[in-house]
Copies of this chain bind each other. A is one copy, B any other.
Amino acid sequence: MAVDGTDENNLEQGIYTKDAARLGKNGRRRRSLSDLSSSQKCGAWASHFQRLFVSFIGADWIYLMLLGFIMAVLSFTVDIFVDLFTEAHSWIYNLADSHVVLQYLAWVTYSLFLMCFAAGFANMMSIQATGSGIPETKTSLRGVMLQEYFTFRTLVSKVISLTCVLGSELPVGKEGPFVHVGSVCAALLCRFMSLFSGIYKNKARNEEMLTVGCAVGISCCFAAPIGGALFSLEVTSMFFVARNYWRGFLSATFGAFIFRLLPVWNRQEETLTALYATKYRLDFPFDLYELPIFAAMGILCGFGGAFFVYLYGKISLFVKKQKAKNSFLMKNCFLYSALVSVLISTLTFPPGFGQFMGGRLTKKDSLISFFDNRTWSNHGIVADFDNDDHLATWKHPQANVFIILSVFIIMKFWMSALSITLPIPCGSFVPIFVIGAAFGRLVGEGLATLFPDGFNVDGHIYHIVPGAYAVIGAAALAAGVTHTISTGVIMMELTGQINYTLPILISVILANMVSQSLQPSIYDTAIRIKKLPYLPMLSWGHREKYNIYVEDFMKRDVRYITLNSTYRDIIKILRSGNLKTLPLVKSAESMLLLGSVERVQLLGLLTQRMQHLREDNASTMPVRYKVRFQVRHGEYECVYMVKPLKFCIMMWPVDEEEITSVYDSGLNLKKFFCSRPEIEAMEDDSDAEDDTILLEIEEWEEQQLVEQVTFSSCKIDPAPFQLVEHTSLHKTHTMFSVLNLDYAYVTSIGRLIGAVSLKELREAIEGCTPADGVRLRPVLSTFRDRGVRGTMTETIALHQLLEHQISR
């Protein structure tokens, strides 16, 4: 997964080319579609109807509801299968109760089998499916689109192997993968909708939809639309735009609605309620004296969260180092997963050590029992306690409930940190929730034992509610790990009670404060470990540390086109790099920046030029290489082309970009055409293969190529984003972040002197940070800053500027 400098470069450039190719393709396809409709001429009514249909399909709410629906169904299906897997596990385990060894084998082998299948499937089908997916989504949303993470293949691989992993009862969660699945679904749905409506071809819009996908992912895991929408904003965005906020809410609400509706239709539940509905008393949720305890829990959870992130980072780096050293481990991706699976299932084996840590319970069962309304430590009060299978697990003849809970917390803590480093789809959110809830329950039970009579307020007796402590602990620990506030909101929606708003928010904010001052969030840590091309926030400290200007880190060797460029120049430039847009300057001497031209536009210019040549000079052209194609749908069309194939003139809708890339890679065009499935038969005129003719062609081409380009039909962006050479790193960073730029040109009094892309900016920032990698900055640290706009008034002494002017 490691992406070093050069790879990154290729990666980015590859993406650029792909984007351009897609753009070209879509542009062409739309044209051919409209051609079709106009050729049919079914009258004004049909076209009116078509327009209506397109605008209907183009309406966002259709898209958002579809996305919500798909995700809800996916989430529900995964849940059903996970339940089936768990039941099957339980059934096999109970079947083998004749002997403890047999039972152990059944217990371990089942998990092992599912784990190996999941790891193998994910690694073979699509390696991008492993891990949480939130770091990759975050990176993609920041500008560097990791295209391979958003394919149908990844989706299938992720969903299926996630189901198996969850079924194997490893302490990993569903939320991280579902954020990824949500954004993949959003991306795929955009691609699908673009068949009907043009507005889904907009790249920026589609990136915004990824945020919506994240919100729906969370919302469909926890049935928490508000929390989901907020969580997605907190985790994925640096700057929120109002439009995402609305879209996220709409889609997340519909998703959560369908997700909770499905169990009702499936006769599992009576009506729409919270996922882990609690029934704590409404009249007196907590006493004032409990508030300091909640605050202390928040602080402890902050430390715990930071330690969890630290542990995860250490384990990840250790595993990575071992893999790099040991080629055997690297080749056998199963082995590591299998080892961990056996270790964990051995430890949780219920008749063994598992009896001291609630080994039999799944994550869901544990959460339900932790959030339970009843108090465990004074068993006598509740009569039906022993009938409850879940609660009975926490009652052990040799050990009291405090010991069991403590063992559970300690064991699950390292198990979770270990599990999420495996090469499988896995999230850290739910296991953290469970550990936090256990911690809260421990504190709550302790208090209930200390104060068995509860509080006497104005004659009313109110007992302590340990379940509420579990709720608060879960929210605080999750906040400490993810560095978000919305975990509190998710918790309220998950339990269906908002009585504890203030304690939850207080402990969540305190946990955030503590953990952010100690460690980056788990997602930022993952980004750092995986070396994803993410633009980091500038690390804190004095601004003077970043005392460099854009001229110090910009790329000086910029490819450009001038008003005097010939067609040859353009071909040369198009072949030499894969930049999406090219700057247009007045002349190579003056370098005055006039605007920028998209690559696609230039390709269009070339095609136009050749169409023009073909029409005008059909007779003067020395020879033509003629190919006839039999296209599958019965149509019969011709491609004429000059060879060696610098230009190609076609009537067949293959886009120009595709042809150019064939040349670039040195392939034979004939071969390329033969490989296309649409072409069934092909005959070509072989007399053009002669050497002398080739020379002749070469000469003719040379003549045609030296002509100056006429840009008159080409669309030019007259105001590409420009920076002055003295713009500081801080200001550049802010502009790139806020405007979500990919690149900017650097000018000095109108003359183009360089360009900055995300890559250069990232390197410049990393160059300013400590050697141990990018120092990611906690969000709360912005409390100590002077505001965004403060970074925009950097000043230098004028004499520097004057010297600069004189030396020029």
On A, residues with C-beta under 8 Å from B are 59-61, 199, 202-205, 208, 225-226, 230, 233-234, 237-243, 245-247, 249-250, 253, 256-257, 260-261, 264, 270-274, 277-279, 282-288, 457-458, 460, 485, 488-489, 492-493, 496-499, 501-502, 505-506, 509, 512-513, 549, 563, 586, 592-595, 598, 711-719, 721-724, 726-728, 731, 734-735, 738-740, 747-751, 779-780, 782-790, 792-799, 801-802, 805
Contacts and interface: CB of A to CB of B under 8 A. Distances in A.
Contacts of A713: 797
B719 A723 contact: yes
B501 A493 contact: yes
A663 B767 CA distance: 51
Contacts of A718: 549, 724, 726-727, 794-796, 801
A792 B242 CA distance: 18
A160 to B, nearest CB: 30
Contacts of A256: 501-502
A492 B271 CA distance: 19
A513 B61 CA distance: 10
A801 B204 contact: no
Contacts of A727: 718-719
B726 A505 contact: no
A787 B202 contact: yes
A153 B237 CA distance: 39
A216 to B, nearest CB: 14
B749 A273 contact: no
A805 B563 CA distance: 11
Contact of A457 (B270, B493, B712, B796): B270
A488 B493 CA distance: 13
A203 B199 CA distance: 39
A420 to B, nearest CB: 25
A460 B787 CA distance: 58
B249 A509 contact: yes
A60 B784 contact: yes
B719 A731 contact: yes
Nearest to A563: B802
A19 B575 CA distance: 54
14 contacts: A205-B790, A237-B242, A239-B240, A270-B457, A271-B288, A272-B288, A273-B283, A277-B283, A497-B497, A563-B805, A711-B799, A712-B798, A712-B799, A739-B739
A205 B740 CA distance: 22
A489 B498 CA distance: 10
A295 to B, nearest CB: 11
A793 B597 CA distance: 10
A721 B748 CA distance: 14
A238 B188 CA distance: 29
Contacts of A278: 282
A509 to B, nearest CB: 6
B738 A739 contact: yes
A594 to B, nearest CB: 6
Contacts of A257: 502, 506
Output the residue of A273, A498, A512, A715 with the most chain B CB within 10 A: A498
A415 B788 CA distance: 44
A128 B545 CA distance: 44
Given A203-B789, A788-B241, A790-B202, A501 B226 contact: yes
B279 A279 contact: no
Contact of A502 (B237, B253, B488): B253
Contacts of A722: 722, 724
B711 A798 contact: yes
Contact of A271 (B273, B285, B723): B285
A506 to B, nearest CB: 6
Contact of A787 (B205, B273, B283, B512): B205
A785 to B, nearest CB: 7
A243 B782 contact: yes
